[in-house]
Every structure is written in structure tokens, then in C-alpha cells.
């Protein structure tokens, strides 16, 4: 019979007798003991799931593993708390508890008939009758028992076992549950056996064997969490038992629960210290006197390793020193604790007369080499290098074959402290012997060579590794990077192609259930052993401890990379052609590219909401549109895991995001240093002719949440402007200057910066007179004029943080085409609204007038420059612009009064000369502009006089500074044109030789 056979009935409604008995039992359940109440609740759920199961279902009718151990511990803790306080004790029945429900006469008659059929040997009839009994009243214990016997007689032990388990829920016998657990285990129903062992513990918490069997079974099938819970429950009954701790430790380490493991070992160590203060005691298992009463050096080393793993190196040092002292029977010698060093275990007198505590000479007590190794690692990692190296030298004097793992850990400690010169010889010693060499050792040797600048040696080691295992793509990528620095691009390209080819051939990951559930299984639970493990393979998620470890490795990678950049920077700034300068520059660029890509791939730094600053990768926890083919698979997997975890945890942190505190660094490098790195990287790329990539990097960083503040935004834009000017990309210069004008509304400095960046040249002029810039400045000019003369017509727009027009249908056009520069969604105290101007601004009118002048719109130029002149009549630049505009308008055909315009131009030019020559000295600029004006009018005799004065002034300047020629070359060129057109070729030739020859 299958449990699913109950579904053959057309209805499962309870009879009135069943309802009354259920109601009565529910009232009695209020007074049941806690464990029995939970077991009967499990029975109710089992029956309910049986009734709701589909007809076609034959396996896993519950589809759920019930591990109730955590709940049992919580209930037990509450019971203990009640017992200690005397409050809230559970009520018990006064007259005892009846052994079952009250059965109706119909059910009793059916049970009698089923029993009689079984006695008569009519098994099938008995089965049918008992099924009907269970349908009416599932709590009839005898019906389950008779059904189990029937199936056992029919040679169906699995079904019989299943029915006995169902019946065991109704009479709470711990011994029966234990027998059922053993039978389930023998039949291979491991999940069912775990369930039965859990019921044994619920009913009889003193049965330690059941807990031990449950833990061993869970460990055997790979259910580490259940095994941990069982061992913890066992440890509660036998506190500080070292055998249990020994079994529990690998489980906690596998689950990354280091803090609990440390807590348990700390408690055990403290217990044995108090119990056996002399360092010796009787082992309860053997009855012999042993060091520590059973708590040996191994347990102390385990605790020290746990401390070192968690970064508590000071605690590791303390437990090694005090623990070994205690085992040596010197526990009372507390004076050694006053020494900050480890002099009590020194083997020589090298400390005499030096250091703190010099009156305490070295003790020269023996110390096991394994304990000394832990001291060496802890000392090195906390930065006590001298002390750590003293211990390490003793450990390294041992045979490398016997103590290879200790050698590796010491070398790794040196490597983590960036002491590559000390780590390299140890790795080389390990790599020389086939028994101690490994891929990790060889990779570390290569990394040490790389970090020490010995690139050729690093390449040789990588080549050796690839000769042993050509499938290591990450090694190929590292070697390709070194080849690129060493100017061997063909070798590097060949390795990259190999990696691309191998990635294309790699099969897709598939999830295979190695142990599918048997479709004919009669277990109450799914018995697949891969159920829990499949979660990681299906979703690709890592656990939170694994993500922390992954983030720690990436942080170490950033630290090493940034330190290497700082070391290479002075070499890179050496004069071009200096020995090693070019090699350092290429290596700096390669390393900087890795760090820049890592920053740009981190999605947490580029969130949609700019008002949400960067708060760290994980709670005390990457995306590039086109990935480079040179990125290895490990980096890709790391990025994806971090992104998945970020998405999963972002919902949990959504309500707390505004309360969290922003951080000022990313992977231990401050954002200020990151910004400096981006700018240096962009400048070098631009200098080497790769402006597009430099501009892409700066524009991407510009939208990062780490640089949402106004100062950082301005700095990045200035860097972009510098790169664009060097590459002569003046439209980009105009774009960034427009951003400054928008952000810093009603300020003149962005206008002056625009003029300075577009100082001269045809390309700069084309960008200066672009129609988009003209329209933008015209809108700004209107806003400025409205702010001065009609403030009520303006309104404050909170989202773009700008003032705009308030008239209906005439909103500020500049608001729509300019993005929110800082991502601020409203006003704040840090960035208040800019104050409205109180007087007219000649700068923006003069700038717009000069744009019109450069575009040959002379009439418009005169109009706006006259406005600027009214606001500032003593500015020589405005006067010069008006002179040039009037002169240009006079030369046009549409001019209606040329003489008036020429007279006006000469008047402004005279005003310009008066303003520029404030001290009465001659100015080559003034003379040149007068000469250029007369040349424009065709008055060559007057123009020649002024050009010759420019050359005379230049002659005087060259006497004191030969390189200062002022405007002599421009004046000489214009003067030579006049000489050639008037037939004075000899004079023009003299000018060519003197001023226009390189």
C-alpha cells in the first residue's frame, strides 16, 4: 500500500464523530508536553499533505525535509528559562493524559472487523478496512499498526516502515523512534532517518547516541548544517568535549562559521585551564595522566589557526604563548605576559641589553616547531617583522620536505605583507623539490619576480608553468601582459588567441543530479543527496562568507596594483629616452588599465540614483559594455557573483540606504587617489594619441556616485577639457564649458574659461561660432538681463538647480537640454540656489558680441558690444571689438553710411589706445592693431609707420631676451605684403630674413 492510495476515495471530509474528537483533542493539546505537541502537529501536516497529494504522485509526497532541530533548541532554551525564573511553566493535566482519541462506535466496529480479518489471514480485506478507518479517523493508532503488519506479511518492508512511522506520531516512544531511524538508515532512506533521530532527541534529550548517530548520518550524506546542529545539541549535554569539538570543527569551517568555532574552542581552552591549572590531568577516556588533561597542543594550535584566519593575530600570539606555557607546567609564570615580545621561547641571547623589559632575559624554554610557526605568521601579519623573522628563521631551518606546509604559510605571510624579497627565496626552495612544489608555489614565485621588477625571470617561470599545464588561461593572460611590457607583442597576441580559442571550446555548465530519487521509493521525504548542493550550481550564487573572501582578494589585488603604480610613477617622469623610462611607462599604463577597468566594472559605483552615494561593496559586506578579450575567466566569474549578490541584497538594504554612512574609499584606496589615477591615465593616453579612450574613461567616471559632489565634477571636467585641447577636439571643449556655465549660473569665470580654451586657430574659431553655442549663450544672456531688470519673471527649478523664466509657455529652454549636473533632486543646505545678480554684466554681452564678430555678423556685434560698453566703458577689449565690428560693417555692401562707421571705428580704436597705454609706454599690441586698421582701409603709408614701430619695440626686447619678439612676426608678415604689393620686394626680402626665417 502507498500513502497515495488514500487518494482513491472521492472525498476526505471528516465525519461528525471525527470533528468532535478532533476538537476535543485540540483542547487537550493545549496541555501536552512541548515535544509531544510538536510531534502530533507533524502528524497532522503529514496527513494533510497525503490528502492533498495528486493521484499520480508516488514519490516525496511532502517534498520537504523537516529539520526541526533549531526550533527544538529554542523551545528547550525557553523551558530552561521558565524553570530558572519559575514563571510561565507549562500546564500539565491533573488526572493524566488519555492514550488516544475517543473513537466512535462505527470506527471501533471497523477496527474489530479489520483485526478479525488479519487473524483469519485475509490480508487484503484487513487492508481495505483499516484504510477506511484511517480515512475516517487518522488518529486511530491500532489501524496504522495493523496496516504495517499486513504489508510486512506481504513482503513490503518499505511500506510497512512508512506506516509504522506514521503510527509512531501517536504514541510517543523514544525507543520506537530510534528503531525506526535505524531501519530507515539500513534501507537507504537517509532523510527519513534524520527525521526519526530528531524525534528521538525531542522525546529523550538524554539519548546522546541518537544525537551522535544523527550527526554522523548527516555528515555522511553531506548535510553539514544538520550535522552541525546535532553536534551542537550534543555539545550542550557534554560541554567542552574535545571529541565532539574535533568532529564539529571541519563542519564549521566548511560552513564558514569561524566565529562560532572560535567561541567553542575558547570556552574549552578556558575550561581546561581552570580544571587543570598545573597543565596535567587524568584523561577521562584512558584514565592516564596526560598534558592538559586531554587538551593537547593540537587544540591550542587549532585555536591559534582560527585566530589567524579571522585576522585576530594578537589573540593567536597570546593563546600560543599562554597555552604552551600551561602545558609545560608554567602556568603561574605570569611575568612573561608583561613582555610584548616572545623572549621566553628564544633559543639564543640575542636580546640581552636591548628592547623593553631588558631586565628579563630570554627564557630559552622549548617550543614546538608548529607552535613557533603560528607565532611567526602572526608576528609577520601584524607588522612585528623582526620578531616574526626570528621565529621564521628557526622554522625554515627544518627539513623542507617534512615541513613544507609551514614553509608555504610563512612565505604567504611575507607575500601578504608585500615583502616579496623575503618570500621569493622560500618559494624557490619549495619549487626546487618535486615533493614540495605546486602550482601555487610556482605562481607565487612568478608574482614575486613581477613585483620586484624582474619581468624576464617572471616570464620564464610562467613559461615553465605552461609547459607543465598548457590549459591555464589565467597564467597565459599574465604572461601576455609581461610580453607586452617587454615589447614582444607577437608572443602576447599568440597567447591571447589561445585563450580565446579555449574559451570558445569550453562546454556549457550543466547541472546533473547524481543521485535522483527512486520513483518507487516509499520514503516520506525526498532522498536526493544533491538537493542542497544544486542551489549554488543552478543560480550561480556564492554564500556571503565566500563573497567576503572574494572581495578581500580583490582588495589585496588593488593594494598591490596601486603600490606598483606609485613605485613606477617617478621612473615614468624621467626624461624621454632615459634607461628604463619607456619600460616603466608601458608597465604603468598596463597596471593602471587593470585598476581603471575594475573601478568601471563595479556597479555599486554607478547607481541609477545619483543622490545615493557609494556605501561599500558588501555589508561589512561590473559592468563594461564591451569586455576586453584579455580578461580571464576568474575575473568574469567574480564580477558576475558580486553583481548577483548585489541585486539580491539591494532589496534588503533599500529602506536603510539613506541611513547608512557613505565611505570615502574603494578597496582601501581613497576616492581622491582614484581620481588622481584616472586623470594621470587619461593624460597619458591623450599624449600617446588615444584621446577617444581617455575621453570615454573620464566621461564614465563623471557619472559615478563616488564623484557626485560639485568639486569632483568640476575637476573631472577640467581634466576632460585639458585632454580635448591637447587633441584639438574643440567641440568637446565647448561642451564641457557649457556644463560649467550651466552649473555655475550667473558667474563670469566659466565665460572667461571658454574664451581662454578657444584662444586661437581655425578649429577653435569654428567651435567658437557654432550655432549651438550661440543659442546657449543667448539664453543665458536673456536670463541675466531678466534677473537684473525683472526678477519676478524668474522661478527656481529644483531639479536642474537653475533659475528659469516664469512666464507661461516661455520656460527656460536651457533646462531641458542640460542634465542634472549633480543628481540633486531638490534644494539643500550644501548647494543653495545662486544669488540673483543686482547689476548688468558686460562679460556675457561682450562674449556674445565677439561670437557675432567672428561670424561676420557685424551689425549684431555692434549692437551687443555697445550694450557691454554701456555697462563697462573702460574695458579696452570691448573698445577694440567695437572698432573691428564698425570697420567690418563699413566694408559690407549693406552699409548705409560707411564714413560714419569708419569714424566710429577710429574713435573706439583711439579709446582703446588710451586705456591700454595707461603708463605712457609704447605697446606693440596697440601699434599692431592701428597698423592692421589702416591696412584694412588701404592707407598703407600710415600702416607702415605703425608696423615699423612694432618691429622697433621688438628689437629693444630682444636685446634683453632674444626669445621675446612680441608681435614682430605678425607685423613683419603684414608689412611684407604691403611691400610686395607696392613693388618694394627688396624690403620684403629683408623682413623675411630677419623675422620670418626659422
CB 214 within 8 Å of CB 197? yes
The dihedral region occupied by 13, where left means phi > 0, alpha psi between -120 and 50, and beta the remainder, is beta
Q: Per residue in 124-178, pLDDT tens?
A: 888 888 888 888 888 777 888 888 888 888 888 888 888 888 877 777 778 888 8
Q: Does 60 have pLDDT greater than 80?
A: no
Q: Report how far residue 244's alpha carbon sits from residue 239's, in angstroms, rounded to the nearest whole number.
A: 9
Q: Per residue in 855-881, pLDDT tens?
A: 889 999 999 999 999 999 999 999 999
- Count of C-beta atoms within a 10 Å radius of residue 840: 17
Q: Does 489 have pLDDT greater than 80?
A: no
Q: Per residue in 34-58, pLDDT tens?
A: 666 667 666 766 666 666 654 433 3
Distances (CA, A) of 335 to 316, 327, 332, 376, 480: 19, 17, 9, 22, 57
Confidence of residue 721 (pLDDT cuts 50, 70, 90): very high
- Spatial CA neighbour of 409 closest among 448, 386, 441: 441
Confidence of residue 920 (pLDDT cuts 50, 70, 90): low
Which has more pLDDT, 627 or 254?
Answer: 254
Instruction: Give the list of residues 6+ apart from residue 295 with CB closer than 8 angstroms, or none.
Output: 242, 268, 269, 272, 276
Q: Per residue in 209-238, pLDDT tens?
A: 888 888 888 888 888 888 888 888 888 888
The pLDDT score that the predictor gives to residue 124 is 87
The pLDDT score that the predictor gives to residue 965 is 86
Mean pLDDT, residues 676-680 taken together: 91
Q: Does 723 have pLDDT greater than 90?
A: yes
What percent of the chain shows pLDDT beyond 90? 12
Coil, strand, or helix at residue 38?
helix
The pLDDT score that the predictor gives to residue 374 is 87
CB 883 within 8 Å of CB 875? no
Q: Report how far residue 339's alpha carbon sits from residue 718's, in angstroms, rounded to the nearest whole number.
A: 56
Q: Per residue in 755-807, pLDDT tens?
A: 888 888 888 888 888 888 888 888 888 888 888 888 778 787 766 777 877 75
Q: Does 516 have pLDDT greater than 60?
A: no
CB 463 within 8 Å of CB 449? no
Cβ-count burial of 359 within 10 angstroms (0-12 exposed, 13-18 middle, 19+ buried)?
A: exposed
The pLDDT score that the predictor gives to residue 206 is 80
Distances (CA, A) of 29 to 38, 45, 664: 10, 15, 58
Q: Among 72-81, 370-379, 691-700, 759-768, name the one with the lowest average pLDDT.
A: 72-81
The pLDDT score that the predictor gives to residue 950 is 92
Q: Does 470 have pLDDT greater than 80?
A: yes
Cα 752 → chain centroid? 41
Which has more pLDDT, 449 or 3?
Answer: 449
The pLDDT score that the predictor gives to residue 482 is 85
The pLDDT score that the predictor gives to residue 420 is 87
| Torsion 916-918-923-928 (CA) sign | positive
Q: Does 411 have pLDDT greater than 80?
A: yes
- Count of C-beta atoms within a 10 Å radius of residue 346: 20
The pLDDT score that the predictor gives to residue 86 is 44
Q: Does 84 have pLDDT greater than 80?
A: no
The pLDDT score that the predictor gives to residue 522 is 57
Q: Which residue has the cell 621688438?
A: 954
Dig out the grid coordinates for 694 from the structure. Answer: 581617455
Q: Report how far residue 309's alpha carbon sits from residue 549's, in angstroms, rounded to the nearest whole number.
A: 11
Mean pLDDT of the residues in the chain: 76
| DSSP category for residue 343 | G
Q: Report how far residue 780's alpha carbon sits from residue 799's, in angstroms, rounded to the nearest whole number.
A: 18
- Whole-model pTM? 0.55
CB 800 within 8 Å of CB 818? yes
Q: Per residue in 968-985, pLDDT tens?
A: 899 999 999 999 999 888
Mean pLDDT, residues 471-475 taken together: 85
The pLDDT score that the predictor gives to residue 41 is 66
At 77, phi and psi to the nearest 5?
Answer: -65, -40
Our CA dihedral for 473, 474, 479, 484, rounded to 10 degrees, sits at 100
DSSP 105-129: HHHHHHHHHHHHHHHTT-HHHHHHH
E strand or H helix at 666: strand 665-666
CB 465 within 8 Å of CB 446? yes
- Spatial CA neighbour of 976 closest among 939, 934, 948: 948
Amino acid at each position: 500500500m502507498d500513502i497515495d492510495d488514500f487518494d482513491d476515495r472521492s472525498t476526505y471530509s471528516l465525519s461528525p464523530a471525527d470533528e468532535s474528537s478532533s476538537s476535543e483533542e485540540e483542547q487537550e493539546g493545549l496541555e501536552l508536553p512541548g515535544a509531544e505537541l510538536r510531534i502530533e502537529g507533524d502528524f497532522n501536516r503529514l496527513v494533510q499533505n497525503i490528502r492533498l497529494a495528486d493521484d499520480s504522485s508516488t514519490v516525496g509526497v511532502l517534498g520537504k525535509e523537516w529539520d526541526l532541530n533549531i526550533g527544538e533548541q529554542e523551545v528547550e532554551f525557553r523551558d530552561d528559562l521558565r524553570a530558572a525564573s519559575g514563571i510561565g511553566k507549562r500546564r500539565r493535566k491533573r488526572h493524566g493524559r488519555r492514550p488516544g482519541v475517543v473513537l466512535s462506535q462505527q470506527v471501533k466496529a471497523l477496527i474489530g472487523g479489520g483485526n478479525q480479518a488479519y487473524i483469519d489471514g485475509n490480508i487484503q480485506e484487513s487492508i481495505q478496512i483499516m484504510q477506511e478507518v484511517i480515512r475516517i479517523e487518522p488518529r486511530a493508532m491500532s489501524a496504522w499498526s495493523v496496516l504495517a503488519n499486513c504489508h510486512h506479511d506481504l513482503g513490503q518492508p518499505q511500506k510497512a516502515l512508512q506506516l509504522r512511522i506514521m503510527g509512531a506520531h501517536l504514541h510517543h516512544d523514544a525507543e520506537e523512534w530510534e528503531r525506526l531511524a535505524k531501519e530507515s538508515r539500513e534501507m537507504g532512506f537517509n532523510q527519513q532517518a534524520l527525521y526519526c533521530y530528531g524525534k528521538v532527541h525531542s522525546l529523550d534529550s538524554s539519548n546522546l547516541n541518537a544525537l551522535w548517530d544523527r550527526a554522523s548520518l548527516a555528515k555522511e550524506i553531506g548535510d553539514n548544517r544538520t550535522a552541525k546542529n546535532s553536534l551542537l545539541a550534543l555539545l550542550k549535554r557534554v560541554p567542552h568535549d574535545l571529541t565532539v569539538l574535533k568532529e564539529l570543527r571541519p563542519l564549521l569551517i566548511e560552513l564558514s562559521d569561524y566565529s562560532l568555532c572560535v567561541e567553542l574552542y575558547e570556552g574549552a581552552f578556558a575550561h581546561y585551564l581552570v580544571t587543570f591549572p598545573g597543565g596535567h590531568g587524568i584523561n577521562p577516556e584512558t584514565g592516564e595522566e596526560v598534558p592538559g588533561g586531554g587538551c593537547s597542543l593540537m587544540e591550542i594550535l587549532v585555536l591559534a589557526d582560527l585566530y589567524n584566519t579571522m585576522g585576530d593575530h594578537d589573540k593567536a600570539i597570546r593563546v600560543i604563548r599562554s597555552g604552551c606555557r600551561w602545558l609545560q607546567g608554567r602556568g603561574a609564570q605570569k611575568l612573561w605576559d608583561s613582555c610584548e615580545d616572545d623572549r621566553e621561547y628564544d633559543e639564543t641571547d640575542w636580546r640581552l641589553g636591548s628592547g623593553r623589559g631588558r631586565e628579563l632575559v630570554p627564557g630559552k624554554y622549548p617550543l614546538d616547531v608548529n607552535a613557533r610557526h603560528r607565532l611567526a605568521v602572526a608576528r609577520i601579519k601584524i607588522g612585528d617583522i623582526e620578531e616574526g623573522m626570528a621565529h621564521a628563521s628557526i622554522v625554515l631551518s627544518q627539513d623542507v620536505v617534512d615541513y613544507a606546509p609551514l614553509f608555504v604559510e610563512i612565505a604567504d605571510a611575507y607575500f601578504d605583507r608585500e615583502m616579496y624579497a623575503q618570500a621569493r627565496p622560500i618559494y624557490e626552495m619549495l619549487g626546487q623539490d618535486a615533493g614540495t612544489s605546486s602550482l601555487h608555489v610556482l605562481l607565487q614565485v612568478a608574482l614575486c619576480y613581477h613585483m620586484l621588477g624582474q619581468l624576464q625571470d617572471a616570464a620564464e617561470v610562467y613559461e615553465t608553468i605552461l609547459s607543465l599545464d598548457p590549459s591555464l588561461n589565467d597564467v597565459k593572460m599574465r604572461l601576455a601582459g609581461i610580453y607586452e611590457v617587454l615589447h614582444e607583442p607577437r608572443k602576447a597576441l599568440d597567447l591571447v588567441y589561445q585563450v580565446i580559442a579555449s574559451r570558445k571550446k569550453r562546454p556549457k555548465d550543466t547541472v546533473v543530479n547524481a543521485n535522483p530519487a527512486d520513483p518507487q521509493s516509499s520514503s516520506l521525504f525526498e532522498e536526493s543527496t544533491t538537493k542542497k548542493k544544486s542551489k549554488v550550481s543552478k543560480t550561480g550564487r556564492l554564500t556571503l562568507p565566500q563573497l567576503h573572501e572574494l572581495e578581500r582578494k580583490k582588495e589585496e589585488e588593488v593594494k598591490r596594483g596601486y603600490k606598483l603604480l606609485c613605485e613606477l610613477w617617478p621612473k615614468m617622469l624621467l626624461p624621454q629616452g632615459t634607461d628604463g623610462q619607456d619600460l616603466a611607462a608601458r608597465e604603468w599604463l598596463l597596471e593602471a588599465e587593470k585598476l581603471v577597468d575594475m573601478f568601471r566594472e563595479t556597479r555599486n559605483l554607478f547607481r541609477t540614483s545619483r543622490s545615493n552615494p557609494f556605501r561599500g561593496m558588501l555589508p561589512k559586506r561590473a559592468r563594461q559594455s564591451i569586455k576586453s578579450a584579455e580578461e580571464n575567466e576568474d575575473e568574469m566569474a567574480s564580477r558576475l557573483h558580486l553583481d548577483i549578490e548585489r541585486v539580491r541584497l539591494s532589496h534588503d538594504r533599500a529602506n536603510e540606504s539613506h541611513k547608512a554612512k557613505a565611505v570615502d574609499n574603494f578597496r582601501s584606496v581613497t576616492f581622491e587617489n582614484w581620481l588622481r589615477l584616472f586623470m594621470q591615465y587619461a593624460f597619458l593616453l591623450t599624449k600617446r594619441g588615444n584621446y577617444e579612450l581617455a575621453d570615454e574613461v573620464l566621461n564614465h567616471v563623471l557619472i559615478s556616485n563616488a564623484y557626485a559632489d560639485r568639486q569632483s565634477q568640476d575637476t573631472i571636467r577640467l581634466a576632460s577639457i585639458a585632454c580635448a585641447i591637447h587633441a584639438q577636439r574643440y567641440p568637446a571643449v565647448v561642451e564641457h564649458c557649457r556644463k560649467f556655465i550651466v552649473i555655475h549660473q550667473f558667474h563670469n569665470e566659466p565665460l572667461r574659461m571658454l574664451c581662454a580654451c578657444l584662444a586661437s586657430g581655425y578649429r577653435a574659431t569654428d567651435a567658437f561660432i557654432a550655432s549651438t553655442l550661440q543659442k546657449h549663450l543667448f539664453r543665458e544672456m536673456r536670463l541675466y538681463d531678466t534677473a537684473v531688470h525683472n526678477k519676478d519673471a524668474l522661478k527656481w527649478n529644483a531639479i536642474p538647480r537653475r533659475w528659469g523664466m516664469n512666464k507661461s509657455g516661455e520656460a527656460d529652454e536651457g533646462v531641458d537640454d542640460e542634465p542634472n549636473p549633480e543628481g540633486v533632486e531638490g534644494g539643500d543646505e550644501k548647494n543653495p540656489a545662486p544669488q540673483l545678480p543686482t547689476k548688468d554684466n558686460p562679460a556675457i554681452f561682450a562674449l556674445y558680441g565677439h561670437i557675432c564678430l567672428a561670424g561676420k555678423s557685424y551689425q549684431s556685434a555692434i549692437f551687443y558690444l555697445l550694450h557691454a560698453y554701456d555697462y563697462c566703458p573702460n574695458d579696452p577689449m570691448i573698445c577694440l571689438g567695437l572698432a573691428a565690428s564698425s570697420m567690418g560693417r563699413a566694408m559690407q555692401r549693406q552699409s548705409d553710411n560707411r564714413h560714419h562707421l569708419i569714424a566710429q571705428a577710429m574713435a573706439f580704436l583711439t579709446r582703446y589706445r588710451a586705456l591700454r597705454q595707461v603708463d605712457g609706454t609704447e605697446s606693440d599690441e596697440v601699434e599692431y592693431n592701428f597698423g592692421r586698421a589702416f591696412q584694412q582701409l588701404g592707407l598703407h603709408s600710415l600702416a607702415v609707420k605703425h608696423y615699423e614701430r612694432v618691429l622697433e619695440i621688438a628689437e629693444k626686447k630682444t636685446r634683453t631676451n632674444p626669445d621675446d619678439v612680441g608681435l614682430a612676426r605678425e607685423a613683419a608678415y603684414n608689412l611684407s605684403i604691403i611691400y610686395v604689393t607696392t613693388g618694394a620686394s627688396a624690403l620684403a626680402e629683408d623682413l623675411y630674413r630677419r623675422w620670418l626665417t626659422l
